[in-house]
Amino acid sequence: MNLVHRIEHWGDTHHPRWLDVLRIILGAVIFVKGVSFIADTSILFPLLTKANFHLSILTAVHYIAFAHLVGGIFIALGLLTRLAVAFQLPILFGAVFFVNITDGFNFLNSEFWFSLVVLLLLLLFFVVGSGSYSLDHAMDKPGNKRWF
Protein backbone atom coordinates (compact mmCIF):
# COMPACT_ATOMS: atom_id res chain seq x y z
CA MET A 1 0.00 0.00 0.00
CA ASN A 2 1.56 3.29 -1.03
CA LEU A 3 1.48 6.51 0.94
CA VAL A 4 -1.62 7.94 -0.75
CA HIS A 5 -3.65 4.79 -0.03
CA ARG A 6 -2.47 4.74 3.59
CA ILE A 7 -3.48 8.38 4.09
CA GLU A 8 -6.85 7.73 2.45
CA HIS A 9 -7.44 4.64 4.60
CA TRP A 10 -6.47 6.49 7.78
CA GLY A 11 -8.76 9.38 6.85
CA ASP A 12 -11.67 7.04 6.17
CA THR A 13 -11.30 5.20 9.48
CA HIS A 14 -10.76 8.28 11.68
CA HIS A 15 -13.65 10.50 10.64
CA PRO A 16 -16.08 11.66 13.35
CA ARG A 17 -19.60 12.75 12.36
CA TRP A 18 -19.11 16.40 13.33
CA LEU A 19 -16.49 16.69 10.60
CA ASP A 20 -19.23 15.97 8.07
CA VAL A 21 -21.19 18.96 9.34
CA LEU A 22 -18.03 21.09 9.17
CA ARG A 23 -17.40 19.89 5.58
CA ILE A 24 -20.93 20.84 4.54
CA ILE A 25 -20.57 24.30 6.10
CA LEU A 26 -17.18 24.78 4.44
CA GLY A 27 -18.60 23.82 1.05
CA ALA A 28 -21.49 26.25 1.50
CA VAL A 29 -19.13 29.08 2.50
CA ILE A 30 -16.90 28.45 -0.53
CA PHE A 31 -19.96 28.36 -2.79
CA VAL A 32 -21.26 31.66 -1.38
CA LYS A 33 -17.83 33.22 -1.87
CA GLY A 34 -17.94 32.08 -5.51
CA VAL A 35 -21.39 33.65 -5.92
CA SER A 36 -20.09 36.91 -4.45
CA PHE A 37 -17.18 36.87 -6.93
CA ILE A 38 -19.60 36.32 -9.81
CA ALA A 39 -21.92 39.06 -8.56
CA ASP A 40 -19.09 41.59 -8.43
CA THR A 41 -16.07 40.54 -10.47
CA SER A 42 -14.52 43.96 -9.97
CA ILE A 43 -13.51 42.78 -6.46
CA LEU A 44 -11.03 40.25 -7.85
CA PHE A 45 -9.21 42.52 -10.29
CA PRO A 46 -7.55 44.73 -7.65
CA LEU A 47 -6.72 41.68 -5.51
CA LEU A 48 -4.95 39.93 -8.38
CA THR A 49 -3.11 43.04 -9.49
CA LYS A 50 -1.98 43.66 -5.88
CA ALA A 51 -0.56 40.12 -5.85
CA ASN A 52 1.46 40.79 -9.03
CA PHE A 53 -0.31 37.98 -10.83
CA HIS A 54 1.37 37.88 -14.24
CA LEU A 55 -0.96 35.55 -16.12
CA SER A 56 -4.18 36.74 -17.62
CA ILE A 57 -6.20 38.30 -14.83
CA LEU A 58 -9.45 37.57 -16.64
CA THR A 59 -8.55 33.86 -16.83
CA ALA A 60 -7.71 33.80 -13.13
CA VAL A 61 -11.00 35.48 -12.22
CA HIS A 62 -12.95 32.89 -14.19
CA TYR A 63 -10.97 30.01 -12.67
CA ILE A 64 -11.48 31.28 -9.13
CA ALA A 65 -15.21 31.83 -9.59
CA PHE A 66 -15.77 28.47 -11.33
CA ALA A 67 -13.64 26.54 -8.85
CA HIS A 68 -15.47 28.12 -5.90
CA LEU A 69 -18.92 27.47 -7.35
CA VAL A 70 -18.40 23.88 -8.46
CA GLY A 71 -15.90 22.99 -5.74
CA GLY A 72 -18.15 24.39 -3.02
CA ILE A 73 -21.05 22.24 -4.20
CA PHE A 74 -18.85 19.15 -4.49
CA ILE A 75 -17.35 19.67 -1.03
CA ALA A 76 -20.76 20.24 0.55
CA LEU A 77 -22.20 17.12 -1.08
CA GLY A 78 -19.10 15.05 -0.41
CA LEU A 79 -18.68 14.22 -4.09
CA LEU A 80 -15.06 13.80 -5.19
CA THR A 81 -14.10 15.79 -2.12
CA ARG A 82 -10.34 15.39 -2.34
CA LEU A 83 -10.35 16.42 -6.00
CA ALA A 84 -12.55 19.45 -5.27
CA VAL A 85 -10.24 20.43 -2.42
CA ALA A 86 -7.21 20.05 -4.72
CA PHE A 87 -8.72 22.65 -7.07
CA GLN A 88 -9.33 25.01 -4.12
CA LEU A 89 -5.85 24.78 -2.60
CA PRO A 90 -3.96 26.95 -5.14
CA ILE A 91 -6.60 29.66 -4.79
CA LEU A 92 -6.38 29.69 -0.99
CA PHE A 93 -2.57 29.50 -0.98
CA GLY A 94 -2.57 32.55 -3.23
CA ALA A 95 -5.13 34.31 -1.05
CA VAL A 96 -3.19 33.68 2.15
CA PHE A 97 0.41 34.11 1.03
CA PHE A 98 0.18 36.65 -1.80
CA VAL A 99 -3.00 38.70 -1.51
CA ASN A 100 -3.98 39.01 2.14
CA ILE A 101 -0.51 38.91 3.66
CA THR A 102 0.31 42.27 2.09
CA ASP A 103 -2.03 43.87 4.65
CA GLY A 104 -0.14 42.29 7.54
CA PHE A 105 -0.74 39.80 10.37
CA ASN A 106 -2.82 42.11 12.53
CA PHE A 107 -6.15 41.18 14.06
CA LEU A 108 -7.94 43.79 11.97
CA ASN A 109 -7.15 41.93 8.75
CA SER A 110 -10.20 39.66 8.93
CA GLU A 111 -9.94 38.53 5.31
CA PHE A 112 -6.49 37.08 6.03
CA TRP A 113 -7.73 35.12 9.04
CA PHE A 114 -10.79 33.90 7.14
CA SER A 115 -8.62 32.72 4.24
CA LEU A 116 -6.19 31.04 6.63
CA VAL A 117 -8.97 29.13 8.44
CA VAL A 118 -10.48 28.01 5.12
CA LEU A 119 -7.04 26.89 3.90
CA LEU A 120 -6.45 24.85 7.06
CA LEU A 121 -9.90 23.25 6.78
CA LEU A 122 -9.25 22.38 3.14
CA LEU A 123 -5.97 20.73 4.10
CA LEU A 124 -7.82 18.79 6.80
CA PHE A 125 -10.43 17.50 4.37
CA PHE A 126 -7.75 16.69 1.81
CA VAL A 127 -6.37 14.22 4.35
CA VAL A 128 -9.51 12.88 6.05
CA GLY A 129 -11.76 12.81 2.99
CA SER A 130 -15.50 13.21 2.76
CA GLY A 131 -16.81 11.03 5.59
CA SER A 132 -19.82 8.78 5.96
CA TYR A 133 -22.48 11.43 5.21
CA SER A 134 -21.39 12.01 1.63
CA LEU A 135 -22.15 10.94 -1.90
CA ASP A 136 -18.73 9.30 -2.09
CA HIS A 137 -19.64 7.02 0.82
CA ALA A 138 -23.10 6.30 -0.59
CA MET A 139 -21.62 5.27 -3.93
CA ASP A 140 -19.03 3.01 -2.28
CA LYS A 141 -21.66 0.72 -0.74
CA PRO A 142 -21.58 -2.88 -1.97
CA GLY A 143 -23.67 -3.36 -5.09
CA ASN A 144 -23.23 0.21 -6.30
CA LYS A 145 -21.10 0.66 -9.37
CA ARG A 146 -18.62 3.53 -9.49
CA TRP A 147 -19.16 5.86 -12.44
CA PHE A 148 -15.70 7.41 -12.44
**pLDDT tens profile 80-137:** 888 999 999 988 888 887 776 666 666 666 777 888 889 999 998 888 878 777 777 7
| 3-state secondary structure string across 126-147 | HHHCCCCCCHHHHHCCCCCCCC
| Cα three-residue angle 13-15-19, rounded to 5 degrees | 170
- In this predicted structure, the answer to whether residue 56 has a pLDDT above a threshold of 80 is no
